[in-house]
Amino acid sequence: MLIELEPGSTPVSRALVELDIPHRVLRHPSPLRSLEQAAEERGQRHEQVVRSIVFRAASGEFIMVLVAGPAQISWPALRQYLGQSRLTTATEEELVRETGYTRGAVAPFALPNPMRILIDRAVLEEDEVSMGSGVQGTTIIMKSADLVRGLPAAERGDFVVPGKMV
């Protein structure tokens, strides 16, 4: 059973409160071990769980891509979109330095360093989504329309391999 927390109880929730974005903050009863467990405990389908994946370009720029659930990033599509021939996923050290969050708690809000945010179109096909809150084991649930409203500079595109899941 998820435990509902007060708005403003996590870094991401505080940022959403400041932006006047409606959301709920929920804590999982035990450590999360999989996307499937997260979706099940949240009463959501896998596609409603948004993963925030951070990449480092050869230029040193960091880019966050929001993808729906088990979708797999299309490296060629991402490289082409960004005009970059070399991309790597951020290391744990880079992730913490650039986002302030550890893997599993990353979200595109309340970042200490500005970065380019890309949203895969499949994320926006869902009415309600969940994502990291900045705190391990705690999630933010919100409408995808509010996600877009809170990220006005985010770029939309097709960044995953069609039909391929991790």
- Model confidence pLDDT, tens digit, residues 8-57: 899 999 999 999 999 999 999 888 888 999 999 999 999 999 999 999 99
CB 13 within 8 A of CB 138: no
- Model confidence pLDDT, tens digit, residues 84-127: 989 999 999 999 999 999 999 999 999 998 999 999 999 999 99
- The residue type found at 60 is G
Reference 30, options 18, 38, 19, 22; nearest CA is 38
Distance CA 109, CA 92 (A): 18
Dig out the tokens for 106 from the structure.
Answer: 């990353």
CB 123 within 8 A of CB 129: yes
Domain 3-158 class in CATH: alpha beta
User: Which of residues 2 and 42 earns the better pLDDT score?
Assistant: 42
Say whether pLDDT at 3 is over 90: no
